[in-house]
Structure 1
Amino acid sequence: MDRKARVAGVGLEPFATPSKSRSYDEIGEGAIVSALADAGVEFGDIEQIYAGYVYGDSTSGQNVAYRVGMTGVPVVNVNNNCSTGSSALWLARQSVESGAAECVLAVGFEQMQRGALTAKWDDRPTPFDRFMAVAREAAPAADNVPMAAQLFGGAGAAYAQRYDIAAETYARIAVKARQHAAHNPYAVFREPLTVAEVLASPHIFGPLTRLQCCPPTCGAAAAVVCSPEFARRRGIPAVVEIAAQAMTTDRPSSFDTADLMKLVGYDMTVAAAQQVYEAAGVGPDEIPVVELHDCFTTNELLSYEALGLTPEGTAEKFVADGQNTFGGRVVTNPSGGLLSKGHPLGATGLAQCAELTWQLRGQAGNRQVPGATLALQHNLGLGGACVVSLYRKVD
């Protein structure tokens, strides 16, 4: 029996800077209502809810869900750092495919504060002590630089040294992100950029300048996931299936080689992507559109190779030849990505899901990738967890 989970409906609240956003419960409610309407189901049809967020009190997921209705169904709160939204989707898919439920909701939301991400507890070890110890061993410490920028900037510097690439290569990724975001009403930053403007913005760490770092934003996204039988029974045209999905966590290679590229999840991405390609019976050369985790321009470039979109050591040519955009081999982040939308941690993975669902339905407007029937999603959280999902359009 076909139990591959279908994405029946998606909802997305426009992302906003912290000073302009509504509260997390309001935007979370909005995303859920939109996803239900898109799927053509009622809140009472939902049997389980997986709610993802990073910064918030316990049971914030219930607080969001209760604004829509109190039906007594289980609500599971999920926190997996930057891959939280995709982790909620991973759980929802498993529930449907196992037969535990027929119609499940995954919702992600985040009410971010201004400024770089920081640890919220100073009276206990952080999950990132191990990461920073390796980073300090590999490169000089920078006390005034945010942790994530040190890690991903250091990884970008290591790649640039290994393959002798120019700083302009990373800057071109930021320029491409804004070109795509110009057509996305959900993106926060849609103004065009030039390579010169990107490079002239304040230096952060390694090859990174400010315009190569995703900003903190607030937002919410949701997806209704159901079984094919539920969709048929209810007459829902759920044409997008989750063909394969994998979540990986760190192995010793992340820490035992002082390799900053591996420290920021390169090997996790490779492993998750390989599992997905094998399970779906497709290769990376068959993928026309990808939403990948561009928290920094450096990570987008590393992810091209980790996902197999271009061979190791060839990412600079891949970028220079325009193979990462419309008219090239694979359109990466047609939404504008995290660099243009910002990164509301709990919402990011489900916002990626929404974009790719629209792409496969042919509903992406001026950012539509023509004829796309396969779409790949990559969502990475340091600490760590990487979720790679492959969506397929079905009849």
Structure 2
Amino acid sequence: MSQDLPTPDYARNLKLVGHSDQGGRSDGVQLMINKGYAITGHMFSKGFSVIDVRDPRRPNPVAYVPAPPNTWNIHLQSFGDLLLVINAKDMFASAEFQDERNYYTGALGEKVGTASNASATRDWTAGMAVYDIADPSRPRQIGFMPVAGGGIHRIWYVGGRWAYVSALLDGFTDYIFMTVDLSDPTNPREGGRVWLPGMNTAAGETPTWPPERRFGLHHATVSGTTAYGAWRDAGLVVIDVADPTAPTLKLHHNWSPPFNGGTHNCLHLPARDLLVVADEAVLDDYEDGFKPIWLFDVRDPMKPISISTCPEPNDADYRRKGGHFGPHNIYENRPDGFVSDQRLFATQQNAGIRVYDIGNAFRPEEIAAFVPPQPARLMDHRPNRSRVIQSCDVSVDKDGLVYANDYNGGLYILEMTA
């Protein structure tokens, strides 16, 4: 671990205080902070790592847990003494997805072979693993929920009995919504499920959308008794989870077309009757066009009204920088971390990390930014990848420290200076 900090390409009101290459596994996807430890899933290094960040100026990798063969652990959730880790087919190691356009277009279940219940070979592990992290430096697996299909993609869990996941299951065209009962963490089990009509091919349903569209759930976040689902090219799906054993579809609202789809995650701000929704940029060189971070007025939950978008970064020509330019993830106001309905933290991939003041919901303003330098090396093994920063996830702890990772560049720890 070097004490020399990388020099950012651009910084405003965010100061770099610590950096880690995560024990040589500098690729990171989802990032959690738990009891002074950063836990990150890897895209290409097969598994997840734990970094001791109790001294944020000297982050120290302390654990690495490998994934099962042909399986990725890119997404995870921690709360209290539990860590939940997805297990799914390692899509980006598969020949059919070396061109990422193939992953982001069309029915994923048909390409993986799960939509017809007839995949030729199941050489991956599919489901959700549960770890005891009373000591986060020593994750200990205590449970596993298998699923029949491609696996789990992403999870929402903030304690208690229920987790909420996106699952690629046999007989469905793409990822659907599922609740998971964790009353016994050693034996997690399905509670209920919701999908958009047309996705359940095993029941004879037929998609009504164009075949090139990805109508699949990325994931949902839960606020009260409502789950807000980002359903990729299908936009926003609102689900009643008052009874998690019988979730019910309340609303499907799509703005693509005319906008460009890829809806990735949602953040409800209940005190202000606002919903923040990010559309993910998924292709290089701005090929998939403008992807906004939206603010919706949800005073009438059945009639969300878009009232503004966050400004695109304009301090450099990011459209021509290479890689993806546009939103990936927004920090989701985790109750064990920083919670605000005035500030929004987002990753903009080759444009780094951005912080927005949304005090005036009709006119969000960028108030801070940090663009890491070019990664030292490519962890991304897919062909024709650009060696540019691709800031992936951002998390903020209770003290306001900002943690961000990248597909290639490691873990950055930042503090706001204004």
Q: TM-score if structure 2 supplies the norm length?
A: 0.30
In terms of fraction of residues, the more helix-rich structure is 1
Q: TM-score if structure 1 supplies the norm length?
A: 0.31
In terms of fraction of residues, the more strand-rich structure is 2
Where relative contact order (Cα < 8 A, 6+ residues apart) is larger, the structure is 1
